[in-house]
Amino acid sequence: MKTRIVLSELFKALGNAVWFSVLLFPLMIMKVNVVGGKALVTFRWQFVPFIFVSSFILSYLWKRALVWNEHRQDKIASDTLYYKFKKNVQTYFKNQSIKYVTLSLLVAFVVSFPFLFGMYHTNVMITAFIYVILALGLNIVVGLGGLLNLGYAAFFAVGSYTYGLLWKYIGPNFISAGIDTGWLFWISLPLAGIISTIFGVLLSLPVLRLRGDYLAIITLAFGEIVRMVLQNSGQITGGATGISLIPRPWFFGMKLAPKQAAVYIYYIVVVLVLLTIFVVRRIEDSRVGRALEAMREDEIACQAMGIDLVKNKLITFALGAFFAGIAGVVLAAQTTYINPDSFTLWESIMILMAIVIGGTGSIPGAIGGALLLKLLPEYFRPLAQYRMLIYGVAMILVIIFKSDGLLPRHRKRYTFEEKTNSNASAGAGK
Amino acid sequence: MNIDGNAILVIEDLSMVFGGLRAIDTVSMYIKKGEIAALIGPNGAGKTTIFNCITGVYAPTEGTISISRNGVTSGEALHKIQGLKPNVINHLGLARTFQNIRLFSNMSVLENVMIGRHNSLKAGIFNAIIRDPHTKEEEQRVIEESYDILKKLNLHMYVNEMACNLPYGAQRRLEIARALATNPFLLLLDEPVAGMNPQETKELEETINIIRDQEKVTILLIEHDMSLVMNVSERIYVLDYGRLIAEGTPQEIKSNPEVIKAYLGE
C-alpha cells in the first residue's frame, strides 16, 4: 500500500518534469541571436536533461514535504526529535532564573553592540531596529485589528517628512537664533507621532466600511498618494531630490562626530524599541486590545457585543500610524537625508512580510521577522541578486508549513482557584 | 395592536424589503417582561431577518421597533431603536446569538466572554498603557465575572481553550455566555440547539430556563426543534413568507390549522 502511494507520487513528479521541460523550452532551450538583422535560433538541447532531472527531484521533494506536513500534527504528538527539542526549550525557559539570565545576556549584548562591532554594523542595526518599530506598529493594525494595510510606509514617510520639513523651514531660524539644531529631533519625535496619528485617523475615515481586499487596495492607494504628493510638490518638500543635511539629535550641547552620533542614535532607537514593545504588550492585554482582536475575528459579532467598530478602527489606524511616525523621525536622523523613494510600496510590503513570517499578532514574531528580513540581506550581500526569489520562497514555505509564523503568539492563560466556602468562586491571576 | 401584559419589546408594522423581495411584511409583535417567547416558521420565513432588524444589523424599511427595559406598564416610555447601530442596541440591553456560530474563534473562551463585558468597563488606551490600580482592579473584576458566567453555563473547564477547539454544543453555549456577559434584559437566541444531539438539547433547555429564572432575562428564540419550542416557550409567533400567521400558547399553535398548513402543506 505504502509503496503504491509513493509510486503514484513518482509518476506525478515525472509528469511535472515533462510539463516543466515543455514549459521552459522557449526560455531555456531556445536562444535567439540577432546577427546582422537576421534572427539565428540555436537550440541548447544539453539543458533538457538538467531541467528534467531537477524539476523531477524538486517536484518529488515538494510532494513529500506536503505529505509530511499533513502528518506532522500526529508526529508532534509522538516523541520526535523536534518535539523533544521544543519541549526542552519550553521547560528551559519556564525556569525564572534561566529566563532572567538569558534576558540579561541579551540586554548586555544589545547595549554593548556598538562597542563590540564597528560603525557599519551599528548603522545596520539601527535600520533593523527602525524596522522592528515599524513591524510592531503594523502588527497592531494587521495582527490585532485584522485590517490589512498596504500603505503603511506612508505613515513612515509622514514621520520622516515632519522632521525633514521642520528642519527645512524652522531650522534656519534655529541657526540664526544660535540654538542647537539638534533640538529639532526631540521636537519632531512627539510631533511626528501626533501628525502621523492624525494621518492615521484621516485614512481610517474613508475605509471604515471596508475590509479585506477593498481595504488593502485603498490603503495601497493611500500609500502611493502620499509618496506622489511628496514627490510632486517640489517647492515644499524638495520633490524627488528630497531634503538633505538633516541634523542629528542633540546631546547636551556636544558636537558629535558621525561615529558618536551613530552610537547615540543606536541607543535612542533601542529605547524606542523597548518603549514600543512595552506599549504594544500593555495594549494587547487590555480591554482595548481584546476589542481589536474581536474585530479581527468577526466584525458582526464584535458589533453585536456592543463594541463600536468605528472607534475601534480609528484606534487601530491611529496607533499603528503613531509608531510609524516615530520610526520615520529616527530614519531621517540616521540617514540625514530623505526622499520619497525610501517610502515605496515595497517598504510597506517588506514590513507586512516581516510580520507574516514572524507570526501575525505576535510581538516576538514581529521583532524576529523584522530583524530577519533586514539583517539577512545585509550580511548575505552576494545573494542580493536573488533577494526577491528568496523572500518569495521563504514566504511560501512559512505559509504552508508554519502558517502562524515562526514565533507565533502564545495566548495568555488564566488560572482559577476554587473557593470552597462561596458559590461565587474565582480567584484569578496570571 | 393590543398588548396583553408588560411589554419590553414592541414591533409595529415592521417590513423589510430587499430589492423586490418583501422578506418581512408588516409584522407586529411584542415580548412581555420575563417570558420565554419563540419565533418559528419554515425555512426562509424571515425569522433571522427580524432578529437582524431588532439588533440593528439591518435598518428596517418600514415600521418601528421599540424597547423599554422595565416594561411599558412601569410607566417607562418606549424607546425607538430601529435604525440604530448594533453596538448601540446592545448597549441598550439587547443581546443575541447567531444561527451560524460567530465566536471569536482564535481567542480563548474566557476572552470571548470578557469581550461581552466590554461596555461595562471603562479603561481606554492610556489606562491600558499606564495600568493604574483602578484599571488593574477592573481587569481582575472582569476576569472573575466572566468566569462566573462561564460557570453558570458549565463552560468553566474550557477557560483557556481556544474557542474554535470547543465541541459544537459548547460553542453554542459559549455564544449564549458571551451574550449574557453584555448584561442584557432581552436575549435573542437564533437556533440555539441547531445541530445538537437530544442530550445536549435537554441540557440547553434547562439552561434557558435557568437564565430566565435566575438572571431575570427575557428570552426570544428562533428554533426548528419543536420539542424544545413547545417545552420551553410560553408564547409562540409563527412566521411564513414574511407574514405573521399565528400567535399564541404552544397548545394553540399546535392545533392551529394555518400553522399546520405552513409546515406540512395542504
Q: What's the whole-number mean pLDDT along residues A126-153?
A: 95
Neighbours of A226 (CB within 10 A): 22
What strands lie across the sheet with B21-32, from one edge to the other?
B21-32, B7-18, B62-67, B79-80
- What's the residue count for chain B? 266
Which residue does chain B place closest to A316, by CA atoms? B125
Closest Cβ–Cβ partner in A282, A283, A300 for B102: A300
Residues of chain A with Cβ-Cβ distance to B106 below 8 Å are 293, 297
Q: Which three cell numbers stand for residue B10?
A: 414592541
**A287/B121 touch (CB, cutoff 8 Å), yes or no:** yes
Residues of chain A with Cβ-Cβ distance to B124 below 8 Å are 288
Q: C-alpha B183: how far from its chain's center?
A: 12
Kindly indicate the confidence band of residue A430, based on its pLDDT and cuts at 50, 70 and 90: very low
Q: How far is B88 from chain A (nearest CA, A)?
A: 6
Render pLDDT for B234-244 as a digit per residue (tens, 0 to 9).
999 999 999 99
Render pLDDT for B181-230 as a digit per residue (tens, 0 to 9).
999 999 999 999 988 899 999 999 999 999 999 989 999 999 999 999 99
Q: What's the whole-number mean pLDDT along residues B13-31?
A: 93
Closest Cβ–Cβ partner in A290, A412, A414 for B115: A290
- Could you give the CA distance from residue A365 to residue A357 in angstroms, rounded to a whole number? 8
* Location of C-alpha cell 510597506: A348
Q: Look at residue A388 and tell me whether its pLDDT is greater than 90.
A: no
Residues of chain B with Cβ-Cβ distance to A302 below 8 Å are 104, 115
Render pLDDT for A359-385 as a digit per residue (tens, 0 to 9).
999 999 999 999 999 998 888 888 888
Q: What is the pLDDT of residue A313?
A: 93
Q: What is the pLDDT of residue A236?
A: 87
- The pairing of strands B21-32 and B36-40 is unpaired
Helices (H), A139-257: 152-177, 183-204, 213-232, 234-237
Kindly indicate the confidence band of residue A90, based on its pLDDT and cuts at 50, 70 and 90: confident
Render pLDDT for B56-95 as a digit per residue (tens, 0 to 9).
999 999 999 999 888 877 767 788 998 899 999 999 999 9
Q: What is the pLDDT of residue A78?
A: 57
Burial track B96-134 (b if 16+ CB lie within 10 A, e otherwise): bbbeebbbbebbbbbbbbbbbbbbebebebebbbeeeee
Residues of chain B with Cβ-Cβ distance to A286 below 8 Å are 123, 127-128, 131, 135, 139
Kindly indicate the confidence band of residue A428, based on its pLDDT and cuts at 50, 70 and 90: very low
Instruction: Using a CB–CB cutoff of 8 Å, tell me whether B125 touches chain A.
Output: yes
Instruction: Using a CB–CB cutoff of 8 Å, tell me whether A283 touches chain B.
Output: yes
Residues of chain B with Cβ-Cβ distance to A414 below 8 Å are 108, 110, 143, 147, 159-160
- Select the residue from A208, A283, A297 to test the B interface by mutation, using most B Cβ atoms within 10 A: A297
- The pairing of strands A428-429 and A415-416 is antiparallel
Domain boundaries, chain A: 2-68, 113-353
Q: Look at residue A422 and tell me whether its pLDDT is greater than 50.
A: no
Q: What is the dihedral of CA A158, A321, A150, A203, to 10 degrees?
A: -80
**B118/A283 touch (CB, cutoff 8 Å), yes or no:** no
Q: Look at residue A426 and tell me whether its pLDDT is greater than 60.
A: no
Render pLDDT for A297-327 as a digit per residue (tens, 0 to 9).
999 999 999 999 999 999 999 999 999 999 9
Q: Which three cell numbers stand for residue B122?
A: 471603562
Q: What is the pLDDT of residue B121?
A: 87
Question: What is the overall mean pLDDT for chain A?
Answer: 87
Q: What is the pLDDT of residue A427?
A: 42
Q: What's the whole-number mean pLDDT along residues B122-151?
A: 91
Residues 6+ apart with CB under 8 A from A216: A148, A149, A150
Render pLDDT for A16-71 as a digit per residue (tens, 0 to 9).
899 988 888 888 888 888 888 788 888 888 888 888 899 999 998 888 888 888 77
- CA-CA distances (angstroms) from residue A408 to A316, A367, B6? 21, 12, 53
- Could you give the CA distance from residue B157 to residue A355 in angstroms, rounded to a whole number? 33
Q: What is the pLDDT of residue A271?
A: 96
Q: How many CA atoms lie within 13 A of A20 on its CB side?
A: 19
Instruction: Using a CB–CB cutoff of 8 Å, tell me whether A428 touches chain B.
Output: yes
**B125/A293 touch (CB, cutoff 8 Å), yes or no:** no
Q: What is the pLDDT of residue A75?
A: 57
* Location of C-alpha cell 474581536: A294
Q: What is the pLDDT of residue A87?
A: 76
Kindly indicate the confidence band of residue A76, based on its pLDDT and cuts at 50, 70 and 90: low
Q: What's the whole-number mean pLDDT along residues B154-180?
A: 92
Q: What is the pLDDT of residue A80?
A: 65
Q: What's the whole-number mean pLDDT along residues A143-165?
A: 94
